[in-house]
Chain A
Amino acid sequence: MRALIVEDEPLLIEDLEECLLEEQFNVDSAQRLRKASDLVAAEEYDLILLDLGLPDGDGLDLLKTIKKDHKETAVIIITARGETEDKVKGLELGSDDYLAKPFPIAELRARIHAVMRRKYDISNNQIVAGPVKLNVDHMKVLVDDEPLDVTETEYKMMRYLMLNKNKTITRIALAEHIWGSKIDDRFSLDFINSHMKNIRKKLNAAGVENLIKTVYGVGYKLTTYETE
């Protein structure tokens, strides 16, 4: 999954980045509104941490654009402005949560989980697909309650496919969600294939077959027919 940090203080960016990387996000950051709006226009983010007070403009304008063009993107506003008016305005404009500086990173983590739970409608920080359970708050995958040993990249791929259950995910979208947009796509698609081979091998070994289907020429689809 991809996250964007819009924040003008480099030291805070570092902390936020660290937190998001631990959450297995692919992170971009922007210190200026101009760059942030370039990124928002070009990329698909799952989460944006937005500071309202930027040196070259008001973050609320960016929030409007995000909510207009990217309804799916979750936005958490981070700002030094503690005023209720701003908070209300931000939430009215569609931000998913609001954090006033200073805040402990643990709180940010909790808010991210909450927002993601709401966004993907998951309970208990766990996504279930048939016999496979995947924790979103830490890197853990269970098959029939037995832990499955996966690498970081495999975890990211599985998480993205499980969050988008029953949807066809193109390989390029998958690559972007793992490595961001900097990576050359012709180059990364081969890697997606080999990672997918490994995931299937591991799932097969654990007795799960045909969970992830290849949509020929397009990408992958994780299907589950169970209803909970």
Chain B
Amino acid sequence: MNVILALIRRELGGYFKSLIGYVVIAAVLFLFGFSFVDMLGKLNGIPQDAPVTEQFYATVYFWVILLITAPMITMRAFALEKSTGTYESLMTAPVGDWQVVLAKFGGTLAFFALVWLPLLGCLFIIRHFTGDPATLDPRVTAGTFFGILLIGSLYMAMGCFASSLTRSQIIAAIFSFLLGVGLFVLSLRSAALSPSESGWGAVLDYTSVMRHLFDFSRGIIDTRQVVFYLTGTAFFLYLTQRVVESRRWK
């Protein structure tokens, strides 16, 4: 455990010692700003019956932010260490493959969570100026953040997997972007199909990340969705561990 904590600390530190951490945070804040202004415009017009969180998160901004930042956050995980050679000193230290994989994943997820924190500030601003506590239900907000973390963990796991395959950060980023966009496009497709149409419709519906986010942002946490993200994350982490281990295959 000590080893994992030391590694996670190093991973998180790495974001703030290079430009990438600040670039990602600045880009996300910029998009948050847009999204905030957009939502204020909507709220200013007609009254809305959907919760604030839904209008905040279940928007195109969320997806732009997620799809772009996930590769930016994860591309360095393994690829950077491989290209600078520190991977060799890491893997010749007495650390297990799983420890390395979990620490890389933990580091990226912690940074991802950190990136989303400023959004909480926006919500408090709304609450402050509307003067109505009902605009922001803490349980709905918690559900939303939980959902963002779940979706984030799947995307981080996919990104770590992509990064473990190559020593080039660019290739890792492109591959992880393709994986992420692929999953997103599937959910667009499922929105077009009705679940009852065929078996495939039901499967697509089950994997629809867009629909999941709608539920989360209303404070609905469905066990099936939680299971979907946890198994998805575990699957990609398992693949990553296999890639890391493959170095020692004869």
The answer to whether A binds B is no
